[in-house]
């Protein structure tokens, strides 16, 4: 491994106050001569953002809410900082495409991250992708933009980063030429892997957010509990690595030590292992192709014990089944389930929706929405808007029987 470069890598971190953003800054802080933070962004967490600005002194900070931005700007002035405060989606696109920025960490959760992530791709940045919605909702458009802009795309999700590390170094999307048979995405199974099915109807938001292995934000924690997160990751895998849906398999691995695997035609299986900590894939992508220390404890296999692998139960995880069906149906269906899921999870976290109503809502929107493939950003956002509108109208007051298991959407496929 070579030493830190004379010229530091200049970073924009989209979503710096979320769990991925905080972990990114932790890695950056360990290598001050290697990295310089040029821009940080947040939605509403201005207290955290201010502390980050005090520590890393970025040239720009973006706050999405206008009122919060005005308060934040005053606090920046009072703190004696030189950081320039911007506001809104156009400001996100600006800091994602600054000429002086080398690398963009795309860590905004949800469809809100699509436009700035596309801006970074179009500007040819080294793009560290933690915003899965960019691929789920606009896979073809996004990958075309990456190629046209000359961006270097590096996946941050632990599973996709593991696949990236386990594929041949010269992999170009041709499975046959690379001798790859299939991709095996691991999933922890979340907090309800063994919970009796008849008890899932009573799950609370706090229970759903109590992941046994990973420390994550509340939205992604719920997605992990329902395994919608894994379904979205299957869709991401399809676009990231040009893998047909039939060559991607989900394997439940409760220990979260094996982060994903690549199986080759000769029967070899190459995997990436490590303790469950997002600083590992973040550091890998930040320094790629070099390796740097990241503060993560080294893996001690002698104390880890047994590593288990199971097939996912689609009765327990109907959201996974819906996502797999959407991938087979087409890009438009993936856009719809992402929008419906965001609405459903927000309602669940707000106490307005039951846990097992999440897949009900998603299936209802999926089956009632015409979802043609979108060929432009405007078309993606319009389909997203329509799906959200239908999801918002879905009523949870209707008396419904216990969710029967595998969704009808899967039975149709």
**How far, in Å, are 11, 140, 152, 250, 315 from residue 145 at the CA level?**
20, 9, 11, 28, 38
The residue ranges of every structural domain in the chain are: 9-155, 163-276, 330-399
Q: Which pTM does this prediction carry?
A: 0.91
Question: Tell me, what's the pLDDT at 395?
Answer: 60
pLDDT at 1: 36
Per-residue model confidence (pLDDT) at position 412:
33
Q: Nearest to residue 98, comparing CAs of 61, 131, 68, 67?
A: 61
The predicted pLDDT at position 327 comes to: 95
Strands 269-273 and 258-264: antiparallel
**Residue reference for tokens 């000769």:** 266
Instruction: Give start and end residues of each alpha helix (H) in 14-153.
Output: 19-29, 46-56, 66-78, 89-96, 114-122, 133-149
pLDDT averaged per 10 residues, the chain (length 413): 67 96 98 97 94 98 95 96 96 98 95 94 97 92 96 96 95 92 95 91 90 78 94 96 95 95 98 96 97 96 92 94 95 95 94 93 94 91 95 66 48 32
Q: What is the pLDDT of residue 411?
A: 35
Residue 19, SS3 per DSSP: helix
Locate 278 and state its tokens.
């997002």
For 330-399, CATH number? 1.10.1740.10
pLDDT at 410: 41
The architecture CATH gives domain 9-155? 3-Layer(aba) Sandwich (3.40)
């Amino acid at each position: 491994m070579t030493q830190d470069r004379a010229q530091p890598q200049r970073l924009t971190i989209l979503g710096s106050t979320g769990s991925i953003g905080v972990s990114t800054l932790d890695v950056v802080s360990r290598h001050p001569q290697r990295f310089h933070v040029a821009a940080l962004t947040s939605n509403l967490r201005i207290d955290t953002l201010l502390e980050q600005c005090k520590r890393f002194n970025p040239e720009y900070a973006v706050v999405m809410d206008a009122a919060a931005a005005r308060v934040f700007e005053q606090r920046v002035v009072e703190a004696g900082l030189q950081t320039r405060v911007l506001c809104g989606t156009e400001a996100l696109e600006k800091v994602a495409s600054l000429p002086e920025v080398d690398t963009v960490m795309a860590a905004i959760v949800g469809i809100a991250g699509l436009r700035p992530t596309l801006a970074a791709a179009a500007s040819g940045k080294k793009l560290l992708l933690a915003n899965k919605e960019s691929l789920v909702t606009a896979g073809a458009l996004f990958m075309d933009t990456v190629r046209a802009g000359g961006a270097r795309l590096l996946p941050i999700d632990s599973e996709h980063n593991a696949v990236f590390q386990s594929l041949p170094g010269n992999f170009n999307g041709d499975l046959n030429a690379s001798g790859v048979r299939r991709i095996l995405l691991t999933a922890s199974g979340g907090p309800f892997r063994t919970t009796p099915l008849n008890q899932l109807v009573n799950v609370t938001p706090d229970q759903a957010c109590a992941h046994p292995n990973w420390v994550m934000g509340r939205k992604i924690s719920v997605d992990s509990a329902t395994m919608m997160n894994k379904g979205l990751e299957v869709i991401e895998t399809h676009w990231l690595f040009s893998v047909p849906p039939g060559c991607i398999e989900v394997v439940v691995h409760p220990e979260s030590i094996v982060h994903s695997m690549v199986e080759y035609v000769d029967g070899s299986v190459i995997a990436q292992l490590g303790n469950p900590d997002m600083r590992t894939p973040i550091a890998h992508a930040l320094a790629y192709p070099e390796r740097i220390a990241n503060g993560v404890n080294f893996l001690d296999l002698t104390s880890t014990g047994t590593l288990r692998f199971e097939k996912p139960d689609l009765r327990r995880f109907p959201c996974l089944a819906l996502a797999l069906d959407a991938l087979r149906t087409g890009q438009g269906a993936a856009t719809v389930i992402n929008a419906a899921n965001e609405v459903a999870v927000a309602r669940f976290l707000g106490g307005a929706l039951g846990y097992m109503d999440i897949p009900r809502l998603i299936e209802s929107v999926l089956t009632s929405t015409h979802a043609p493939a979108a060929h432009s950003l405007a078309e993606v956002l319009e389909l997203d808007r329509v799906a959200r509108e239908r999801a918002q109208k879905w009523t949870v007051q209707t008396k419904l029987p216990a969710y029967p298991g595998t969704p009808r959407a899967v039975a149709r496929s």
